[in-house]
Amino acid sequence: MKLSIKVGSLSINIETNIAVNMRKDRIGELVSKAMQGRSASAFAREMSVSHTTVANWLKGEHLPDLDSLAVIAKKAGITLEEAVLYILDKKATGDICSIQRQIRALESPRELISVIETATYKLHLMGL
């Protein structure tokens, strides 16, 4: 899995060995619940995405970006963390320490390290 982190104009890509058991069918179920009976076109307009994007989410062909997933989760009446765990079938394994070691090995500003460690900690709390 590739983890991309951007702070200001600085962008870092980290290769990691996080293994995820993602249930693609659950993406569609979650989007369908968030739609609350609205058409895919209406939901797409509301989400500021294309109809095709919503169709791909419903089929489980693509995963919404984090911002979209947060809105979908809210519309479905759950938290972002609950949505992620639902999609992951509440099972995720990863080596967060490995990610932190890669981040610490970078020669970058201390502030960036702090931001990345906070993000890593939040991923850990979510079980990723």
What is the percentage of the chain residues whose pLDDT exceeds 70? 53
- Separation between Cα atoms, residue 114 and residue 111, nearest integer Å: 5
pLDDT level of residue 89 (50, 70, 90 thresholds): confident
Residue 17 has pLDDT above 50, yes or no: no
Task: Measure the CA–CA gap between 44 and 7, rounded to whole angstroms.
Answer: 29
Domain boundaries, the chain: 2-20+93-125, 24-87
Query: DSSP alpha helices (H): ranges in the chain?
Result: 24-35, 40-47, 51-59, 66-76, 80-87, 96-104, 110-125
Mean pLDDT calculated for residue range 12-29: 65
Homologous superfamily (CATH) of 24-87 is: lambda repressor-like DNA-binding domains (1.10.260.40)
Per residue in 42-56, pLDDT (tens digit) is 999 999 999 999 999
Is the pTM higher than 0.85? no
**pLDDT(9) > 60:** no
